[in-house]
Structure 1
Amino acid sequence: MNIDIKKITEGQEYVTIRYKDLTPSMKKIIGILEGTDDKLWGKTDTGTASISIGDLLYLESVDDKLFAYTKSIVLKIDGSLNSFMTDYDDGSFFRCSKSMVINVSMVKSLKSLSSNRIDATMEGGEHIIISRRYASEFRRLLKGGR
Structure 2
Amino acid sequence: MKISIENVSPDKEEEIIIRCYEVNDEILELMNKLKTKNSILIGYNDDSIYQLNPSNVYYFESVDNKVFIYCRDKFYECKQKLYELEQICDHKRFFRASKSIIINITKISHVKPSISGRFEATMVNGEKVLVSRQYVPVLKSKLGL
- The normalised TM-score by structure 1 is 0.76
Tell me the CA shift for residue 83 of structure 1.
0.9
**How far 1:44 sits from its partner (Å)?**
0.4
Question: In the alignment, which residue of structure 1 is the partner of 2:86?
Answer: 85
3-state SS in 1 of match to 2:80: coil
What amino acid maps onto 1:18 in structure 2?
I
Does the alignment pair 1:28 with 2:33?
Answer: yes
Residue 18 of structure 1: aligned partner: 18
Over 4 Å off, 4+ runs:
19-25
Q: Is the 8 A contact 1:24 1:86 kept in 2?
A: no
The Cα shift of 1:141 comes to: 2.2
CA contact 1:81–1:99 (8 Å) conserved in 2: yes
SS at structure 2 position matched to 1:124:
coil
The residue identity in structure 2 corresponding to 1:54 is: S
The residue that corresponds to 1:137 in the other structure is 138
Structure 1: stretches of 5+ with no match in the other structure: 5-15
Question: Aligned equivalents of 2:125 and 2:32: distance in 1?
Answer: 28
Classify 1:75/1:116 alpha carbon distance in 2 versus 1 (closer, same or farther; 3 Å): same
Same amino acid, percent of matched pairs: 28
Contact 1:120-1:129 within 8 A present in 2 as well? yes
Alignment correspondent of 1:56? 57
Deviation at 1:59, TM superposition (A): 0.3
- For the Cα contact (< 8 Å) 2:36–2:89, is it kept in 1? no
Query: Take 1:107 and 1:123, find their aligned partners in 2: how far apart are those partners?
Result: 6
Contact 2:60 2:82 in 1 (8 A): yes
Q: Secondary structure at the match of 1:135?
A: helix
Measured in 2, the distance between the counterparts of 1:109 and 1:31 equals 26
Quote the offset at 1:109 in angstroms.
0.8
CA contact (8 A) 1:41 1:50 kept: yes
Q: Which runs of 5+ in 2 are unaligned?
A: 4-15
How many residues of Structure 1 are paired with residues of Structure 2 in the alignment? 129
- Alpha-carbon distance change, 136 to 3 in structure 1, aligned in 2, over 3 angstroms: farther
CA distance in 1, matches of 2:55, 2:113: 26
The within-5 A match list for 1:103-142 is 103-142=104-143
Instruction: Tell me how far apart the structure 2 counterparts of residues 112 and 41 of structure 1 sit (CA, whole Å).
Output: 33
